[in-house]
Chain A
Amino acid sequence: MQFTVIQRILGILLSLFSLTQLPPLLIALWLNETSLHAFLISFCIILITGLLLWLPVRNIRTDLRLRDGFFIVVLFWAGLGVTGAIPLILSEQPHLSIADAVFESMSGLTTTGATVITGIDYLPKSILFYRHELQWLGGMGIIVLAVAILPLLGIGGMQLYKAETPGPLKDAKMTPRITETAKALWYIYLSMTVACALLYWLAGMSLFDAITHSFSTIAIGGFSTHDQSIGFFDNRAIEAIAVIFMVLSGINFTLHFLAWQNTSLKPYTNDSEFKAYLTFLFAVSIVCCVYLIIKGNYPGVTPAISEGIFQAVSIATTTGFTTARYQVWPDFLPVLLLFSSFVGACAVSTGGGIKVVRVLLLFRQGLREIRRLIHPNAIFTIKINNRPVPERVINAVWGFFAAYISVFALLMLLLMVTGLDQVTAFSAMAACMNNLGPGLGAVSDHYGEINNAAKWLLCFAMLLGRLEIFTLLVLFTPAFWRK
């Protein structure tokens, strides 16, 4: 472990992060809101902390090792969760406790979208913007952003990038240089956000709502500027736009890049993960719609279909926008939706969950075992995109799955220890670990009611989910710290 290098990079990253306090600060200044001083103070605190870390070691030029990468990424995300909470603590509205503020900022950064705040509609605009900005930065990954704009990270950038990007096949770079790859990801991300914001605006949102909601849509976050989420607008066009962009953001960004580079749709149609992702979304939507129509929860077929599709897409991609109270849907539907969030979005997207490609691999591996029983001597290779998947990757996926489920079970039990009932504990843990947002039971509307210990546990779960468990868990192994 090279602590001086780690300190130097953390310092740079924190100073960079302090800039994110400026846009809400300007909004507060413009609208003359009381939150102005909160952003001003937090800007100073974060910048000074960053500079204090950076200045003593600014001349150290050692390359990052693999281990340092994990440590930096985890420290930085945890640090952001805490420092990002500063303006929320300081601001008079919404007067949040430390646990609440950290929960809110962590939920934003990890694109979970769970909130502890009620009466969102009455918050100052600057605070609202800030919550969405956090989600937007967390979506593509703030370290990916740093790699894109800070060439000084050099080869170390790759270690950081690998520790942050989701997905099992991290070596597949889109361009030869890591900074170019990171830039490409952010260009795609930015252009999708702009397109989404424009369409929202044309569909009837106010400019402020259009921008903030485009942030949380493309980041697959789920924050809204209204307590009723997207349902507030009661506008089918807006819901349709949201569905389209949630689906798009859940796709592997490498595919967007290839499609844009080759100006063809072939990269999509040739991709197994993309096909599985669409099939899955389609299947969940159909089940929801058909069941809602049969049960007659909604007057008429059209609202049932539109609510069914919106909720299925919003939850299966782990966004967490709501137009209806899906928690009160009949029978198995709420749990089906929660389960679908475990599958989540594609690798190298902004969504959470286990990721479609991993589930696809697990499924094919299971199928292979069945076929092996029938043909004991046959050799089956598991393929993705008609290419054999190395045995190592398949093992890694199994390991990931096992770790994900065990950590989930353990944390859920701990939540129950803090006093939550079983439905609440299960759904809260699923919603946070999959970076989804709304849960069932006591957390179906917001997380304000649960105890502080549970909130800290959920913060940890959100970070686990965003960094795909291993990046965080590796720090808890003795071997990592051995010299």
Chain B
Amino acid sequence: MKIIILGAGQVGSSVAANLVSEANDITVIDTNPDCLQYLSERHDLRTIVGVASHPSVLANAGAKDADMIIAVTNSDETNMIACQVAYTLFHTPTKIARVRNNEYLKHPALFAQEALPIDVLISPEQVVTEYIERLISFPGALQVLDFANDMAQMVAVSAHYYGPLAGKLVCDICSKLPEIEIRIVAIFRAGRSIIPDGNTEIEPNDEVFFIGAPKHIRTLLKTIRSTEKAAKRIIIAGGGNIGMRLAQLLEDRYQVKLIELNSHRAQEVSELLKKTIVIQGDVADEELLLEENIENTDVFCALTNADVANIISSMLAKRLGARKVMALINRAAFVDLVQSNVIDIAISPQQATIGSLLAHIRKGDVVVVHSLRRGAAEAIEAIAHGDSTSSKVVGRKIDEIKLPPDTSIGAIVRGEEVIIAHHDTVIEADDHVILLVADKKQVHEVEKLFQVGITFL
């Protein structure tokens, strides 16, 4: 696929790095040659210096036969104009743009096809904020992924040494909880992934992925995390875009404090928030944290722009007695370094956002993609089309489907109903099938599986 990425900032670069490994032809445009040089030295892609919305620059980047443009420059205006230019002059089929300012987002009519021709609006900050919000409302989960308009959820739970999961067989866990319908789709153990069957034993420190309807997931988490209370007091470190949005989202339900170093920004944030207590100070200041009752805090979220500050302040908060600490970490290498070791949950913003883009890049009718384990694995929701003659999945029992290795079907959403996949479940047309692909190399096989044969046409 030929993709043009506008903007080589954090989102642009990580998207480029992610997509280039999948045999896509990537061209990145930015006004800053230094950012571009960094990218072109590390990845096999083309870079062009210029203003991303200028037709001549886009033409240079090969917009004429591009399949997709992803506009993620810092400026909403540039992103919107670039999509307009790509649509009018180059007829680019898919146009994805990041628009952050609520002034624009408030008016959906702006983004209708006859107005601003943007096919998909993404807002990475919002995605990350919602991601963190879910983590807070599901205590005990390492990751919460939504499928089929929130009708099904996948959660990752780590198996603690003396916890209820470690040392059990997969079939025992399911039979111990007969009233809820859930399934274990994958286990990640020491960097490797395992597609479990009934006789797989869960070991301590495994990351276990469950799938099910949200109410069942909630019960499940309550059972296996009976000791963990729901969060009440939350401290957010860093009043940037994500920190402030998160505070807005949480302040009605929780007691939220927000710490911001920059006094200007702190003032601004305090004006925008209603109930949150905004504190001006250093997020890694021990005295300040103690003063704000860190030992009675349920969740400490470090969301500043600096990875190191986030890691250090969360370590400090943990040491001072915060029950659970989360840190926003951009660098993938740092995530592995601290996850479930010194920090309870390391949040990788790239991983949270890349999924929403991948869904548009995947062939076949793939509606949702969540990237897992630094992009090594993927959870995919695909719609099965056609009938038993044209489709490789419709009308077949699950154990009749030729799934590629390291892949399992977790659940099926049919209409309003979530069906946990068993070996004899038959897939019908228009089912939403939720799969876990533990090895990204198999994704193309999965795509092929859900593409409808010629006979359908």
A residues sitting closer than 8 Å to B (CB atoms) are: 66, 154-155, 157-158, 171, 173, 175-178, 180, 390
| Complex CA–CA separation, A176 to B43 (angstroms) | 10
| Complex CA–CA separation, A175 to B26 (angstroms) | 9
Q: Does B344 contact A (CB under 8 A)?
A: no
Q: Which 3 A-B pairs have the closest CB atoms?
A: A176-B25, A176-B46, A173-B46
Contact A175 B44 (CB under 8 A): no
A154 CB contacts on chain B under 8 angstroms: 44
Nearest chain A CB to B150 CB, angstrom units: 37
| Complex CA–CA separation, A103 to B46 (angstroms) | 38
| Complex CA–CA separation, A390 to B37 (angstroms) | 13
Q: Does B47 contact A (CB under 8 A)?
A: yes
Q: Does B27 contact A (CB under 8 A)?
A: yes
Q: Add 5 more A-B contacts to A155-B44, A173-B40, A177-B44 (CB < 8 A).
A: A176-B2, A176-B27, A176-B44, A178-B44, A180-B25
A178 CB contacts on chain B under 8 angstroms: 44
A173 CB contacts on chain B under 8 angstroms: 40, 46
A157 CB contacts on chain B under 8 angstroms: 44
Q: Does B45 contact A (CB under 8 A)?
A: yes
Q: Does B33 contact A (CB under 8 A)?
A: yes
13 contacts between A and B (CB under 8 A): A66-B41, A155-B43, A155-B44, A157-B44, A173-B46, A175-B46, A176-B2, A176-B25, A176-B27, A177-B44, A177-B45, A178-B44, A390-B33
Within residues 68 to 107 of chain B, which ones have a CB less than 8 A from any CB in chain A? Answer: none
Nearest chain A CB to B307 CB, angstrom units: 23
The one of B33, B41, B42, B45 in contact with A176, judged by C-beta atoms closer than 8 angstroms, is B45
Contact A158 B44 (CB under 8 A): yes
Nearest chain B CB to A385 CB, angstrom units: 12
Nearest chain A CB to B89 CB, angstrom units: 15
Closest to B42 in A: A155
Closest to B49 in A: A387
| Complex CA–CA separation, A191 to B40 (angstroms) | 29
A155 CB contacts on chain B under 8 angstroms: 42-44
A390 CB contacts on chain B under 8 angstroms: 33
Contact A177 B33 (CB under 8 A): no
Nearest chain A CB to B45 CB, angstrom units: 5
Contact B40 A171 (CB under 8 A): yes
Q: Is the interface of A mostly helix, strand, loop or mixed?
A: loop
Closest to B33 in A: A390
Nearest chain A CB to B56 CB, angstrom units: 11
A66 CB contacts on chain B under 8 angstroms: 41
Contact A176 B40 (CB under 8 A): no
Taken residue by residue from 17 to 59, chain B's Cβ proximity to chain A (1 for < 8 Å, 0 otherwise) reads as 0000000011100000100010011111111000000000000
A175 CB contacts on chain B under 8 angstroms: 25, 46
Closest to A258 in B: B60
Contact B37 A171 (CB under 8 A): yes
Closest to A66 in B: B41
Q: Choose among A66, A154, A157, A176 the residue with the greatest number of B CB atoms under 10 Å from its CB.
A: A176
| Complex CA–CA separation, A175 to B4 (angstroms) | 12
Closest to B59 in A: A262
A176 CB contacts on chain B under 8 angstroms: 2, 25-27, 44-46, 62
Nearest chain B CB to A194 CB, angstrom units: 27
| Complex CA–CA separation, A157 to B43 (angstroms) | 11
| Complex CA–CA separation, A178 to B23 (angstroms) | 12
| Complex CA–CA separation, A158 to B42 (angstroms) | 9
Nearest chain B CB to A386 CB, angstrom units: 11
Closest to B60 in A: A258
A177 CB contacts on chain B under 8 angstroms: 25, 44-45
Contact A171 B25 (CB under 8 A): no
| Complex CA–CA separation, A66 to B47 (angstroms) | 19
Contact A171 B44 (CB under 8 A): no
Closest to A178 in B: B44
| Complex CA–CA separation, A158 to B27 (angstroms) | 15
Nearest chain A CB to B32 CB, angstrom units: 12
B37 CB contacts on chain A under 8 angstroms: 171
B27 CB contacts on chain A under 8 angstroms: 176
Nearest chain B CB to A391 CB, angstrom units: 12
Contact A171 B47 (CB under 8 A): yes
Nearest chain B CB to A309 CB, angstrom units: 36
| Complex CA–CA separation, A177 to B26 (angstroms) | 8
| Complex CA–CA separation, A176 to B2 (angstroms) | 9
B2 CB contacts on chain A under 8 angstroms: 176
Closest to A158 in B: B44
Nearest chain B CB to A157 CB, angstrom units: 8
| Complex CA–CA separation, A155 to B2 (angstroms) | 18
B40 CB contacts on chain A under 8 angstroms: 171, 173
B43 CB contacts on chain A under 8 angstroms: 155
| Complex CA–CA separation, A176 to B33 (angstroms) | 17
Nearest chain A CB to B115 CB, angstrom units: 31
Nearest chain A CB to B324 CB, angstrom units: 37
| Complex CA–CA separation, A173 to B37 (angstroms) | 12
